Amino acid sequence: MPDSSPLSKSQKRVLDDALRLVRDQRRRADAEGAPLAPDHAWTTPFGLGYFVGAVDGLCQAHDVPFDGMALAILGLVLDDTFQRPQSDRLRHRAVELMQAGDADFARGRPWGGNEAIGMQRGLMKPVGLVHLAQGHEDRMGGPVGGPAA
């Protein structure tokens, strides 16, 4: 029986790019002595904001709406990165943080989006997750776009 809701070509590009972004940074973090652990910085509100922002940015880059299907793509990226059942918990937590307007989550989201768009356009090699893995969130600086008005 065929899948009743397959990903469109554009949605598949979002997923492929998001997986590449995360896998590349995970390999770099592992190589630099900062392997993924259960209580890893990638699972903090800032880290989850980065993941959501990366998927959102790639949706923008590929002209895909950030909707329920985009959240499903986020889930696939989290599954690939953390494995179930932890990925299920993190997906729910990310949605809760997004809905609550959590400040750390909101600060991580544009970093993920900007790095994902920069990677997709060939302008940069993302480093945000590597910095987080090394415990250097401070390298990420303040809010993207400067201080809030």
One digit per residue, the tens of pLDDT, for the chain of length 149 reads 345 558 889 999 999 999 999 999 999 988 888 777 656 788 889 999 999 999 999 999 999 999 999 999 999 999 999 988 888 999 999 999 999 999 999 999 999 999 999 999 999 888 888 888 887 777 665 544 433 33
Residue-range domain boundaries for the chain = 9-28+41-137
Global pTM reads 0.87
For 49-64, b where at least 16 C-beta lie within 10 A, e where not — what string? bbbbbbbbbbbbbbeb
Q: Which helix (H) or strand (E) holds 108?
A: helix 103-120
